[in-house]
């Protein structure tokens, strides 16, 4: 049997590249900023933090924005996926692998070779002093880069989906939570000598928030705010999360609030089509994500048993177990693979295969939630745009062409399937649980 292949010649790839002067300028500035940032690793800018900060982070951010802005005039509002399948960066070609290596490499340095970033941390010093009243550390640098990525690429999302209020509002939401809840609020807490706390992260994603050491520290703290934080951590994990997920599906968190989701929905958006839609990927996904959930649950329980028995039963075993989780899941999976593999496996590798929070929310969504993606009668033409652009690897078309609602644990409710559907077939809706069409 001969295989049918559609060959896209190189000259077409060039046609898709915009030569808008702003884009070229932007790209140049971004490159220069990045270069200066990297050169800073040698320490030559360590004595001039403000200048280093402006020339690296400032220039790169400005450049990226200039690169993005022409999108407003280049195309009319509407779905703009032209040429996505022709672009090497978005189709696992060399440049994508290179990017993945750079991303991954950064995380490896960040987690295990922090001294190599010692001088680059200086780039976020001025901001750190302004917000927290102290010098930056590597985690502050990381937070700064993360937030900048969400904001800049968030701007790109706002332009790309400017015809859709759903996307505008949810993008503004993740940008807000990243900027305020992940960046500003924890910094200000530190400025006032309060515990560093992220109100938008809960157990089990932020697993230590229910570890006995943390909870005890918060609840037995002398300040009321810390006690509130302790209660917040418990209430959110056990009460608010299930209730919100019952009413709105896991999207209230995964594509509206969560920081990992924020990065996936902004920086990761260009790679969303790379998620594997095969049945085998789905099978692997279910095994992995639920194993991680069991893992962290066991770790947490062991720590509590340990704490209750004052180490009599388990000794130091539970601690080393939690350290293994921290290394394997917290650092390796969530960071290195989760973001590093964006250009190879799509934007939701961590959310799909590893996140225990997503696992819990997914179970609620699958079995006890009012959320579903409704299929509009017989309008589906099986074109496959929905499946192609599902970042969670759901074969949406499978359900849509059978007239079934999509009720999948993994759906984060980003709404892109509904937007790219050319026939108005899909809609994210909340309604009576009993009437979801399986």
Partner 1 sequence: MTQTRRDPDTLHVVIIGNGVAGVTAARHIRKGSAAAITIISSESDYFYSRTALMYIYMGHMTFEQTKPYEDRFWEKNRIDLLRDHVTHIDADAKQLRLASGDSFGYDVLILATGSQPNKFGWPGQDLHGVQGLYSLQDLQRMEQYTRNIGEAVVVGGGLIGIEMAEMMHSRRIDVTFLVREESYWNNVLPPDESAMINRHILSHDIRLHLSTELEEILPDSRGRVRAVKTKTGEEIPCAFVGLTAGVHPNIGVCEGSPVTTGRGILINRYFETNIPDIYAIGDCAEFISENGTRGRIEQLWYTARMHGESVAGVILGRRAEYDRGILFNSAKFFDLEYQTYGDVPSDVRDEDSLYWEHPDGTRCIRIVMRDGVVTGFNLIGMRYRHQVCERWIHEERPLTYVLEHLGEANFDPEFSHQFEDRLIGQWNERHPDQAVHRVRRRGLRRLGTSAYRHIRENATS
Distance CA 390, CA 416 (A): 7
What residues line the site for partner 1 (CB under 8 A)? 1-9, 11-12, 15-16, 76-79, 81-87, 163-166, 169, 278-279, 374, 376-379, 381-385, 387-388, 397-398, 401-404, 415, 418-420, 422-424, 427-432, 435, 437
- Which residue has 């590597």 as its token pair? 138
In the complex, the smallest distance separating the C-beta of residue 417 from partner 1, rounded to whole angstroms, is 11
3-state secondary structure the chain: CCCCCCCCCHHHHHHHCCCCHHHHHHHHHHHHHHHHHHHHHHCCCCCCHHHHHHHHHHHHHHHHHHHHCCHHHHCCCCCCCCCHHHCHHHCCCHHHHHHHHHHHHHHHHHHHCHHHHCCHHHHHHHHHHHHHCCCCCHHHHHHHHHHHHHHHHHHHHHHHCCCCHHHHHHHHHHHHHHHHHHHHHHHHHHHCCCCCCCCCCCCCCCHHHHCHHHHHHHHCCCCHHHHHHHHHHHHHHHHHHHHHHHHHCCHHHHCCCCHHHHHHHHCCHHHHHHCCCCHHHHHHHHHHHHHHHHHHHHHHHHHHHHHHCCCCCCCCHHHHHHHHHHHHHHHHHHHHHHHHCHHHHCCCHHHHHCCHHHHHHHHHHHHCCCEEEEECCCCCCCCCHHHHCCCCCCCHHHHHCCCCCECCCCCCCCCHHHHHCCCCCEEEEECCHHHCCC
Residue whose CB is less far from partner 1, 331 or 373:
373
Neighbours of 46 (CB within 10 A): 15
User: What is the closest distance, in whole angstroms, from the C-beta atom of residue 15 to partner 1 in the complex?
Assistant: 5
Contact 181, 198 (CB under 8 A): yes
Shortest distance, CB of residue 372 to partner 1, whole angstroms?
A: 9
Residue 14, number of CB atoms within 10 A of its CB: 10
Q: Which residues contact 322 (CB under 8 A, 6 or more apart)?
A: 207, 211, 299, 302, 303
Contact 244, 202 (CB under 8 A): no
- Supply the minimum distance, in Å, between the C-beta of residue 275 and partner 1: 12
Rounded to the nearest whole angstrom, what is the least distance from the CB of residue 160 to partner 1 in the complex? 13
> Minimum distance from CB of 377 to partner 1 (Å)?
3
| Closer Cβ to partner 1, 1 or 312, answer by number | 1
If the CB atoms of residues 15 and 323 are measured against partner 1, the closer one turns out to be 15
Sole residue written with tokens 């899909």: 426
Distance of closest approach, residue 378 Cβ to partner 1, in angstroms: 5
Smallest gap from residue 40 Cβ to partner 1 (A)? 38
Shortest separation between residue 411's beta carbon and partner 1, angstroms: 15
- Name the minimum Å distance from CB 79 to partner 1: 7
| Residue 269 beta carbon to partner 1: minimum distance, rounded to whole angstroms | 15
CB of 134 to partner 1, least distance (A): 41
Nearest to partner 1 of 141, 406 (CB atom): 406
Q: Are 425 and 375 in contact (CB under 8 A)?
A: yes
Reading the block at residue 346, the tokens are 């799509």
- The alpha carbon of 95 is separated from its chain's Cα centroid by a whole number of angstroms, namely 22
């Amino acid at each position: 049997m001969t295989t049918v292949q559609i060959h896209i010649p190189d000259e077409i790839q060039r046609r898709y590249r915009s030569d808008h002067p702003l884009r070229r300028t932007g790209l140049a500035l971004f490159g220069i900023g990045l270069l200066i940032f990297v050169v800073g690793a040698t320490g030559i800018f360590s004595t001039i933090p403000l200048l280093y900060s402006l020339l690296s982070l400032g220039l790169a951010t400005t450049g990226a924005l200039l690169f993005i802005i022409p999108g407003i005039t280049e195309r009319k509002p509407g779905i703009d996926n032209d040429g996505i399948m022709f672009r090497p960066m978005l189709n696992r070609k060399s440049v994508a692998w290179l990017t993945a290596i750079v991303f991954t490499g950064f995380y490896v340095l960040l987690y295990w070779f922090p001294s190599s970033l010692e001088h680059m941390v200086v780039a976020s010093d001025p901001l750190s002093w302004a917000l927290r009243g102290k010098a930056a550390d590597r985690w502050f640098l990381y937070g700064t880069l993360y937030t900048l990525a969400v904001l800049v690429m968030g701007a790109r999302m706002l332009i790309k989906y400017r015809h859709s209020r759903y996307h505008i509002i949810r993008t503004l939401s993740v940008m807000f939570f990243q900027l305020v809840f992940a960046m500003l609020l924890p910094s200000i807490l530190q400025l006032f000598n309060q515990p560093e706390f992220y109100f938008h992260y809960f157990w089990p994603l932020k697993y230590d928030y229910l570890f006995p050491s943390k909870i005890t520290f918060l609840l037995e703290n002398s300040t009321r705010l810390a006690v509130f934080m302790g209660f917040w951590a418990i209430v959110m994990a056990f009460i608010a999360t299930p209730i919100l997920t019952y009413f709105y599906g896991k999207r209230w968190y995964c594509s509206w609030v969560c920081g990992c989701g924020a990065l996936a929905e902004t920086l990761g958006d260009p790679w969303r089509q790379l998620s594997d839609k095969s049945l085998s990927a789905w099978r692997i996904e279910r095994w992995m994500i639920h194993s991680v959930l069991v893992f962290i649950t066991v770790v947490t329980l062991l720590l509590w048993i340990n704490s209750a028995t004052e180490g009599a039963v388990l000794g130091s075993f539970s601690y080393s177990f939690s350290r293994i989780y921290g290394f394997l899941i917290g650092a390796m999976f969530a960071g290195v693979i989760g973001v590093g593999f964006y250009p190879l496996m799509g934007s939701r590798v961590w959310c799909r295969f590893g996140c225990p929070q997503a696992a819990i929310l997914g179970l609620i969504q699958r079995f006890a939630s009012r959320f579903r993606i409704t299929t509009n009668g017989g309008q589906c033409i099986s074109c496959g745009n929905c499946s192609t652009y599902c970042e969670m690897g759901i074969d949406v078309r499978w359900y849509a062409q059978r007239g079934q609602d999509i009720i999948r644990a993994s759906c984060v409710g980003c709404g892109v399937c509904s937007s790219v559907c050319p026939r108005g077939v899909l809609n994210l809706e909340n309604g009576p649980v009993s009437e979801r069409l399986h």
